[in-house]
Amino acid sequence: MAAAGPASGSGPAAPVLAVDVGGTKLAAAVVEPGGRVVAYDRVATPNGEGLDAEGLWRTLQGLLDKVHADAGFPPLGGVGAGCGGPMTWPAAEVSPLNIPAWRGFPLRERLRARYPGLPVRVHNDAVCVAIGEHWRGAGRGRSNLLGMVVSTGVGGGLILGGRLVDGASGNAGHIGHVVVEPSGPPCECGGHGCLEAIARGPGLVAWARAEGWRQGGQDVTGVELASDARRGHPVAVAAMRRAGHAIGVAIASATHLCDLDVVAIGGGVSQAGALLFDPVEEAFRAHAWMAFARKTQIVPAALGQTAGLIGAAALIVAQDRYWNAGD
């Protein structure tokens, strides 16, 4: 599949200001229409006592100004943003789970006011990662992709028939809440046995601690657990097997329903490499036997930290494939 260009009904040829709002960091970039990142910066997400919505917005504004300056103040073709959910969509009043300062914060409206006359589009952060991986990463040239982020939560985005799937309310792609064990552990969503309840970093850390791993450590995350697994710590390895098995079951369900070409897995937990991907593959193949399902490829995400920014830019420059909500 060729790169998006003006002839295909895609967006402007000018660079895009891309934004990624997460609970850990705020990141921004100027992205060329072809997908190249020409300026990038990030700051830790402010989360001090007494931080209000406007304080966080000012920090984000400062970051956006800086990357625009770093790129030499090019005229912009638009602003694309990924943000942690939930949010209303496409209006993007955002209430990110891990950012208590923003509850119903009108992110799209604020960005529009700050960049008048430009198209401004916001989608879920994991959806933006999936878009990035489809447009310029591990799913490039494939028509049917599930992009997954296995990190503090388990998120995702779905591309079918070469186009982003939004669903009824912009919430398609919640692979983290596919049920992998109906009588499994409670999930923060209110349900139980969701993939996220088992495979998210904090869930794996809690499980590993109960099994004797770094019981005294504070603030350790799934990234450290993945790192210890690579060093051969048996409990950490077992935690990756536990996560991998759940992920493999969820992917089997997803490809039976959606007939996927490729599943790209990123996020901190995926840094365990084969210690995660081998059990993913094993569980997937134990459940996916039909010829069409067995053709699905499960691969590491290719773009790393900038996947979400590149995907956010694609909301503007490849709008024919990734933005279905009008202006």
Does 320 help bind a second copy (rule: CB under 8 A)? no
* Identity of residue 315: L
Applying CB under 8 A, among 38, 258, 274, 302 the residue interacting with a second copy is 258
How far apart CA 138 and CA 304 sit, in angstroms, is 11
The window from 17-25, 72-80, 218-226, 257-265 that contacts a second copy (CB under 8 A) reads 257-265
Minimum CB–partner distance for residue 18 and a second copy (Å): 24
Minimum CB–partner distance for residue 207 and a second copy (Å): 17
By C-alpha distance, which of 95, 229, 82 is closest to 221? Answer: 229
Minimum CB–partner distance for residue 220 and a second copy (Å): 28
Q: Are 96 and 85 in contact (CB under 8 A)?
A: yes
Minimum CB–partner distance for residue 137 and a second copy (Å): 18
The window from 42-50, 105-113, 185-193, 299-307 that contacts a second copy (CB under 8 A) reads 185-193
Q: Which is nearer to a second copy, 42 or 142 (CB)?
A: 142
Minimum CB–partner distance for residue 192 and a second copy (Å): 7
Applying CB under 8 A, among 69, 206, 210, 290 the residue interacting with a second copy is 290
Applying CB under 8 A, among 259, 278, 281, 320 the residue interacting with a second copy is 259
The window from 63-71, 75-83, 230-238, 246-254 that contacts a second copy (CB under 8 A) reads 246-254
Applying CB under 8 A, among 193, 203, 222, 279 the residue interacting with a second copy is 193
How far apart CA 167 and CA 234 sit, in angstroms, is 41
Measured at the alpha carbon of residue 298, what is the angle toward residues 31 and 247, in degrees to the nearest 5? 105
Does 189 help bind a second copy (rule: CB under 8 A)? yes
Does 63 help bind a second copy (rule: CB under 8 A)? no
Q: Going by C-beta distance under 8 Å and a sequence separation of 6 or more, which residues neighbour residue 204?
A: 198, 222, 225, 239, 240, 242, 243, 269
Does 293 help bind a second copy (rule: CB under 8 A)? yes
Does 2 help bind a second copy (rule: CB under 8 A)? no
- Looking only at residues 75 through 94 of this chain, which bind a second copy when binding is defined by CB under 8 A? 86
Q: Which residues pair with 79 in a beta bridge?
A: 17, 120
How many residues belong to the site for a second copy (CB under 8 A)?
52
Sign of CA dihedral 308, 314, 316, 317: positive
Minimum CB–partner distance for residue 276 and a second copy (Å): 18
* Identity of residue 193: G
Q: Are 260 and 296 in contact (CB under 8 A)?
A: yes
How far apart CA 151 and CA 158 sit, in angstroms, is 18
DSSP annotation of 7 reads G
Residue with tokens 């997400």: 45
Structure tokens at 33: 């229409």
Q: Are 302 and 138 in contact (CB under 8 A)?
A: yes
Minimum CB–partner distance for residue 144 and a second copy (Å): 5
Q: Which is nearer to a second copy, 141 or 304 (CB)?
A: 141
How far apart CA 233 and CA 210 sit, in angstroms, is 15
How far apart CA 106 and CA 111 sit, in angstroms, is 9
- Looking only at residues 118 through 177 of this chain, which bind a second copy when binding is defined by CB under 8 A? 143-144, 158, 160-161, 163, 165-177
Residues that bind a second copy (CB under 8 A): 86, 143-144, 158, 160-161, 163, 165-182, 189-194, 249, 252-254, 256-261, 286-293, 295-296, 324
